[in-house]
């Protein structure tokens, strides 16, 4: 069994925000797996399905971003999923909008959801699908980051969002079916 988690914040008011792109990708994967998030446990919405012949536990933490690692760590321990079999889909300020990257391990880079994940899992060896959302530019850009990630995509981005979510879901599905090295070779070059 593998665990695929999307990072985001719960509640309708956050639904379409940049910070919730992880939830959007998991929702796309659920459709492919013909699965639903039918349970509320581990402080998360949880469901099971299969992709590429592999059983998948889908997790959308409902703790808000800063505490999302709790849900994933509890679910991984309960289902005995190794950290290397956990994939986390998250927004990434350090990649321009539309860029994607599949990678294993690495730091949190200031992302509070990833900080929580590393802290609660006890290591950083989980797999990541980094979905580029870009970052604010100009004076006081650092001070505007929180407002930026908690804002909706602009009109131009929204027109490309469905395709971006589909490509991120392709990356995750390829990781399940083909393994990390093959999926990285196939998708990171194109992304």
Task: Check 19, 90, 111, 187 and give the catalytic one.
Answer: 19
Question: Is residue 126 marked as binding?
Answer: no
Of 146, 126, 127, nearest to 136 by C-alpha is 146
Query: What per-residue confidence (pLDDT) applies to 175?
Result: 98
- Distance, in Å, from the CA atom of 140 to the CA atom of 105, rounded to the nearest integer, reads 30
- Considering the domain boundaries, does residue 191 fall inside one? no
How, if at all, do strands 100-104 and 54-61 pair?
Answer: unpaired
For residue 24, give every residue at least 6 positions away whose Cβ sits within 8 Å of its Cβ, in sequence order, or none: 6, 8, 161, 165
How many domains does the chain fold into? 1
3-class DSSP assignment, residue 163: helix
CATH number of the structural domain spanning residue 33: 3.40.50.1470
Token pair for 189: 């070059």
Q: Which domain holds residue 39?
A: 2-186
Asked about 111 being catalytic, the answer comes back as no
- Distance, in Å, from the CA atom of 131 to the CA atom of 97, rounded to the nearest integer, reads 8
- Distance, in Å, from the CA atom of 71 to the CA atom of 59, rounded to the nearest integer, reads 8
pLDDT, tens digit, for every residue of 114-172? 999 999 999 999 999 999 999 988 888 888 888 999 999 999 999 999 999 999 999 99
- Distance, in Å, from the CA atom of 120 to the CA atom of 102, rounded to the nearest integer, reads 21
Asked if residue 191 has pLDDT above 50, the reply is: no
Asked if residue 39 has pLDDT above 60, the reply is: yes
- Considering the domain boundaries, does residue 153 fall inside one? yes
Question: Is residue 152 marked as binding?
Answer: no
């Amino acid at each position: 069994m593998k665990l695929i988690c999307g990072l985001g914040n719960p509640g309708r008011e956050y639904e379409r925000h940049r910070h919730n792109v992880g939830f959007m990708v998991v929702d796309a994967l659920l459709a492919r797996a013909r699965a639903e998030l039918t349970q509320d446990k581990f402080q998360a919405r949880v469901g099971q399905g299969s992709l590429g012949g592999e059983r998948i536990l889908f997790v959308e933490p409902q703790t808000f971003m800063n505490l999302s690692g709790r849900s994933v760590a509890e679910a991984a321990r309960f289902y005995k999923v190794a950290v290397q079999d956990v994939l986390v889909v998250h927004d990434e300020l350090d990649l321009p909008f539309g860029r994607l990257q599949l990678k294993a391990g690495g730091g949190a880079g200031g992302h509070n959801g990833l900080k929580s994940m590393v802290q609660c899992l006890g290591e950083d060896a989980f797999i990541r699908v980094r979905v580029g959302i870009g970052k604010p530019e100009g004076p006081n850009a650092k001070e505007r980051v929180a407002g930026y990630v908690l804002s909706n995509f602009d009109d131009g981005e929204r027109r490309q969002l469905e395709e971006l979510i589909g490509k991120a879901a392709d990356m995750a599905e390829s990781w399940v079916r083909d393994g990390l090295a093959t999926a990285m070779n196939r998708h990171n070059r194109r992304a």
